[in-house]
Structure 1
Amino acid sequence: MEFVRSSPTFRRRRLARRIRRLREDAGLTQEQAAASLDMSTSALSRKETGEVATSVHEVRSMMDLYDAYDPGLVDLARSARAKPWWHAYGITSRGYFDLEEEAVSVRDWQSAFLPGLLQTEDYARGVFDGVSVLADEEIDKAVAARMWRRHRLHDADEPLCFSAVIDESVLRRPVGGPAVIRKQLAALLELMDIPTVTVQIMPVAAGAHRGLEGSFTLLSYADVEENDVLFVEHAVGSLHIDKPDAVATAASTFERMRASALNGEESAALISRLVSDC
């Protein structure tokens, strides 16, 4: 199954920034523009922040009003209303997929399970079987979607730069059983050969550290106007945080953990020993 890599939410934000600039360049306030566009000021405001989608018709009306023609805006408006690839798997919430899809760099600290992008199908199924409340059919779709995400690691044109620090206990947790974890660890070693993938293991001997407070993921984007995002999962959902101070604190924590973790060669050697012991 082939899907176009896309995130309507991020395209909607890009469109929002561009239509806001057009209005500002035209010297109109939101109140003035909204009145001429036959919409409320609050409605225009939501479109200019990307909270809601802007239709092709509205984009054309804006270009007429602002006396600025940009054919790319029409295409952007169409694509911003398209359904993302994960809808084909029955996944309708924006959640993490929406964040990862447009990211160019992901930094991931995991203290419980291997990062989703590094999981084999059997390991992923073991994770969902163990912690989720999904029905069997929903688990099948969730696992399939997780496997499709891995194409980002092998994308010849736009490979995802992925850096992970993983607690040693994760490698020793027999998710799915001994045979599954052995194949998973062997697959992990292969993924570590990808130039844009970095995996470091935080040894148990490191003792207490900030990462033990919980797993988290940091995502960065090519668009300089998109803030880095801190993603944190919890028992009843997740948090998407883009406040610079919070993101900077998490980034500093991640770098300290990288400095304390085993380097790439040491990590690979540890994983190889565990494969032999399984």
Structure 2
Amino acid sequence: MPSHPLTEADPHDHSAYSSWMTGVAADYPAGFAVDFHRHARGQLLCALDGVMVVEATTGRWIVPPTTAVWLRPHVGHRILMRSAARICSVLVLPDAARDLPDTDCVVHVSPLLRELICAAVALGTQVCETPRGELLASLLLQELREPAALPFHLPWPDDARMAAVCRAITDHPAQGRLAQDWAQSLAMSAKTFHRHFSKSTGMNFGQWQLQARLLGAMAAIVCGQPLMRVALDCGYESHSAFTQAFKRQFGLTPSKFLPAPPPPRA
């Protein structure tokens, strides 16, 4: 998988600029990875097109269009492109971000918020250098205070043993290994495994595995894979069973995440 290191010295960090809000956009091919890094500013990451996965020290998020990830200042993270994607990033100084979400999360991007993000990105490192830009930035922050966090978060353990289990599940969501199988491979009792897993993730093993499978399914759906194939890849034997599980978890049917058809030609 191709990757690109992004460090504090990278110009995308924007820590040296006087504007309290800055923006940047970049196009990435499918399979591209932006290496683990962190910013001194808070960051709003939005995929205008395509699907990305954001992996942070505080969790893992699938980010389809119409959503964005908010990351607090200094939170380490990396970005994986599940498809070709245009990524917009708005960075905010910590003092300006004090009233923004106090946890890292996925938020809904309304049409207005999307336009504000695009406008901030167009102004680049000088968003707040004009009265218009200052107003635009203030409205963007106001919009970001409004949306409720979406349930697209997958907590990631800092325990290396549990992290290895989680990585195997996300890499192969249809595999059927049970908690006792993982416990045996780690030379611990099932009870000890469950205790370590819950302590590391804040979720029990079954809940976490279901969330991981369905978040992976969401990304595949947005990328255009047939629903039946997605259901089978997630370990479900039927389209209806998959649809019911998806709706219970996210409140929407899988079809709501299907890519919009292209507009008819004139």
TM class by shorter-chain length?
Answer: under 0.3
- Structure with more of its chain in helix, by fraction: 1
TM-score (norm 2): 0.27
Q: Based on CA coordinates, which of the two structures has the bigger radius of gyration?
A: 1
TM-score (norm 1): 0.26
